[in-house]
Amino acid sequence: MIQNKIIQDFPALLMQENGKRLVYLDNAATTQHPHQVLDATISYYEKDNANPHRGVYELGARATKAHENARKSVAEFLHTEPEEIIFTQNTTESLNLVAYSYGLEFIKEGDEIALSVAEHHSNLVPWQRVAKAKGAVLKFLYPDESGHLTDEEIEKKIGSKTRLVAIAEVSNVLGLRAPVEKIVSQARKAGAVVVLDCAQSVPHMPVDVKKLDVDFAAFSSHKLYGPMGVGVLYGKKELLEKMPPFLSGGDMIQSVHEQSVTYGEIPRKFEAGTRNVGGEVGLEAAIQYINSIGYDEIMAHERDLMEYAIGKLKEIPYVTIYGEASAQYRHGVISFNINDVHPHDTASILDAEGVAVRAGHHCAQPLMDYLKITACCRASFAIYNTREDVDMLISGIRNVRRYMGLGN
């Protein structure tokens, strides 16, 4: 059975927690790594480690080749060209790069920046800072009762003054996909650029930046079974070329004199300092691993898990699910609370059962305010999770109220 083989690829999943098999359901925060990623990363450090672009010796040339081959693989993954791919530390840095290099340069006083109230803080706080610095206005799109952004709301909030739209393709709390196609269409009518946070979408579905016609897109390696410390920013060439660098120094220059500097060509103009080539090699291996399984297989498996988990949760009368309780629109995430139990207590009791979920505001406090809660629990799934994992989660949830003295 393919699922058993996949589980065997992930050494962390073979551990025990609190004397029980680890049921890891915090994949929206970070994923575990298969042997293929670990082996590729270790092999780089054992055989090819050097500073790329800076040595004419053979080892340095191999490091440069590894760095650029990883860029090519990411470009193919997103269906674009290597010169439009910038390596960063994570999605947060990628979004900040756009905010500071594009936003501070091209957003003007009175312009509007449109974004969803469900955004991760990494796709909100940078735009707050841009708006404050430039005298721009933030316009928030609010979901309907089921958690979806409606056409009416999109048309109402993205208008003639909108110059930039920042949106997560998949919410890290609700697990619902934004109507990106409608948002891009409305943004084009307004003459606005679109910044797409793909951190929660690339693990679960293919992302074609050219087909979507977004101007920028960002994701993190560690949410895609790759190492921490590597992020990706896609940007349209014509925009990247006119943007100033985000960070300065190292290999992002063409020449430096006492009173002047000439910057390098894209994408290196945005890659200051020594690169995390080992992490990039790990990301390339993660992409190869995803491709070896195929998104059709991944999406079918995760749809089955969503249907099974939501069905089981809906049988428990004291559980509240946030966002539409339907697997049809879910992508790997189910956020919930147990009546009369603080989510941190829920997560702690589940941990004692060997089940790892996340509790808190999930870096989405405006959405928590909108939902009229302070925090919630989040179970997030990946290719290695199984129906047995769901059963363990459900069993743990049924035990929570008993442990808290609230009955069944």
C-alpha triplet 231, 232, 236: angle, nearest 5°: 160
**Is 198 in the active site?**
no
CA 166 to the chain's CA centroid: 14
Tokens coding 148: 């979806």
The region, left, alpha or beta by phi > 0 then psi within -120 to 50, assigned to residue 109 is beta
> Which amino acid, one-letter code, is at 116?
S
> Which amino acid, one-letter code, is at 274?
T
With contact defined as beta carbons under 8 Å apart, do 86 and 101 qualify? Answer: no
Strand 333-338's sheet: what is its strand order?
A: 319-322, 333-338, 376-380, 358-360
* φ, ψ of residue 333 in degrees (nearest 5): -130, 135
Q: How far apart, in Å, are the Cα atoms of 2 and each of 13, 176, 203, 297?
A: 16, 27, 18, 10
C-alpha triplet 268, 269, 273: angle, nearest 5°: 70
In this structure, the chain runs to a length of 408
What is the spatial distance between Cα 141 and Cα 158, in angstroms, rounded to a whole number? 9
> Which amino acid, one-letter code, is at 266?
I
What is the spatial distance between Cα 388 and Cα 333, in angstroms, rounded to a whole number? 17
What is the spatial distance between Cα 83 and Cα 131, in angstroms, rounded to a whole number? 29
* Catalytic, out of 198, 363, 376, 377: 363
Element of type H or E holding 194: strand 193-197
**Bridge pairing between strands 231-235 and 253-257:** unpaired
Tokens coding 101: 């290099």
CA 95 to the chain's CA centroid: 11
Catalytic residues: 363
